[in-house]
Structure 1
Amino acid sequence: MAVNLTIFFSEVFFQMASKKDLYALIDKLPDKEFLAAKRYLEFLLENAIKNNDAWEELLNNPNETSEPLTAQDKAAIREAEEDIKAGRVKPWEVVKKGLDRGV
């Protein structure tokens, strides 16, 4: 069974924010914090560009950046598939609700 990590990571780690939300925060920000905010936004942009380049490289050249699965990797995958078949896993929505409640 394949797992779509893109969906998992986007749901777990990212909340959507619009530019309107960001502009509202900037409007509330004290003037003395503008430089820090500017520097942080520049940092975010720089890292987003670097990360995008890394993902593009990985997607465009998977054979050059991927290592073959080891016997240990294959055993872990088999174990995970067995756990799924046996029902020893929780659906993402159940786990997410627990995280939202701080459980």
Structure 2
Amino acid sequence: MLELGLHYEPYALWGVPDYVPEELVSEVSDLTKPEVVAKMKSDIQGITPGAGITRFSIKMMDEYSLTQAGYHFHTGTEEDCFTAFEKAVENKQWVIVPLYS
């Protein structure tokens, strides 16, 4: 898992699988690069609407113009988030996952 930088100190809020080249994606702003948009899964599966990670993720979608780049953030259950990530990794898809504990 590669964390996408520390944009909200001291937290790393999103990550990508470690097979995504770090030289292409090492921080959130990299997600708007055309070569990354072309490969990255556009759906970002989050958890419940009231969770802190969800609120920060929605804010990041706006601050980094990710919706305009074609990404979509979805709320759901923890299981939805885990399942979406596991399926993407199983298929070696480039995917963004919200990180939380």
State if a TM-score over 0.5 links the two structures: no
Which protein is richer in strand relative to its size? Answer: 2
TM-score by length of 1: 0.22
TM-score by length of 2: 0.22
Which protein is richer in helix relative to its size? Answer: 1
If you compute each CA radius of gyration, which structure gives the higher value, 1 or 2? 1
